A and B are shown apart, each in its own frame.
Chain A
Amino acid sequence: GAVVSQHPSWVICKSGTSVKIECRSLDFQATTMFWYRQFPKQSLMLMATSNEGSKATYEQGVEKDKFLINHASLTLSTLTVTSAHPEDSSFYICSAREQGAQAHIYGYTFGSGTRLTVV
């Protein structure tokens, strides 16, 4: 089946620094990637949708200048948390949607998540 590799799995950074999270589709081409933030007590919030080669579409209330998303190729999307602060500490998960007919079979494949802690 489809596999999405997300790195790092956890990161601790100092307040004011930036952190980049990578999401790679290993054996398929992902035309669309989604970035989620998971809050305590489980709830998943969709932050943005990115399509290869175009600007990401951010959900209402998500700061696009703070959460920079790049989807430069069909197998790689990155989320950069700029000038991170403690309130940005969270679990971030990416998801990739396969191109073409495979989308109906596998649909959406999720990365294993990144635990970000800002101190």
Chain B
Amino acid sequence: GNSVTQMEGPVTLSEEAFLTINCTYTATGYPSLFWYVQYPGEGLQLLLKATKADDKGSNKGFEATYRKETTSFHLEKGSVQVSDSAVYFCALRDGGATNKLIFGTGTLLAVQP
């Protein structure tokens, strides 16, 4: 079945450092891909998405490119801030009848001042 593999955390960075969180997927066809962010004690918020190969999703300085050849959707940000500290989830939309989201295990990012 479809699945998402996400790099394990926690990832600890200093403010203004470059961020990469790796995400790869296994799926039939070309699913839509998402990054969600979860701040402490809250639900998930959509950060960005891409619906087809070579699409680049971007939001709040974060970017991810849908790479079909490597089945990847890595999240990047050039300069992180303390306020970016959160858990980041990579997900794909399963193509079945329910169109449910399949999540990676999440990566905790801690940014230190």
Contact of A113 among B34, B43, B98 (CB under 8 A): B43
Give the bracket for the number of chain B residues in contact with chain A. 20 to 34
Give the complex CA separation of A43 and B3 in angstroms.
13
Residue among A42, A46, A112, A115 with most chain B CB within 10 A = A42
Taking a contact as CB atoms under 8 Å apart, the answer to whether A42 and B101 are in contact is: no
Shortest Cβ distance from residue B108 to the other chain A in the assembled complex, whole angstroms = 7
Which of A13-21, A72-80, A103-111 forms contacts with chain B?
Answer: A103-111
Is A67's beta carbon under 8 Å from chain B?
no
Taking a contact as CB atoms under 8 Å apart, the answer to whether B87 and A93 are in contact is: no
Contact residues in B for A44 (Cβ distance below 8 Å): 89, 103, 106
Taking a contact as CB atoms under 8 Å apart, the answer to whether B45 and A110 are in contact is: yes
Chain B: interface secondary structure? strand
Tell me the chain B residues, 44-65 only, with Cβ under 8 Å from chain A. Answer: 44-46, 49, 51
Chain A contributes a number of interface residues (CB within 8 A of B) equal to: 25
Is B100's beta carbon under 8 Å from chain A?
yes
Shortest Cβ distance from residue B92 to the other chain A in the assembled complex, whole angstroms = 12
Contacts A107-B34, A107-B93; A42 near B99 (Cβ below 8 A): no
Give the complex CA separation of A49 and B94 in angstroms.
13
Taking a contact as CB atoms under 8 Å apart, the answer to whether B106 and A108 are in contact is: no
Taking a contact as CB atoms under 8 Å apart, the answer to whether B106 and A42 are in contact is: yes
Contact of A112 among B34, B43, B102 (CB under 8 A): B43
Shortest Cβ distance from residue A23 to the other chain B in the assembled complex, whole angstroms = 10
Shortest Cβ distance from residue A46 to the other chain B in the assembled complex, whole angstroms = 6
Task: Return the 10 tightest CB-CB contacts between A and B, nearest first.
Answer: A42-B106, A110-B43, A110-B44, A112-B43, A113-B43, A49-B98, A44-B103, A43-B105, A111-B43, A42-B87
Q: Which residues of A contact B (CB under 8 A)?
A: 4, 6, 32, 34, 41-44, 46, 49, 57, 93, 95, 97, 103-104, 106-113, 115
A to B CB contacts below 8 Å, 10 in the list: A34-B100, A34-B101, A41-B105, A41-B106, A95-B101, A104-B51, A107-B93, A108-B46, A110-B36, A113-B42
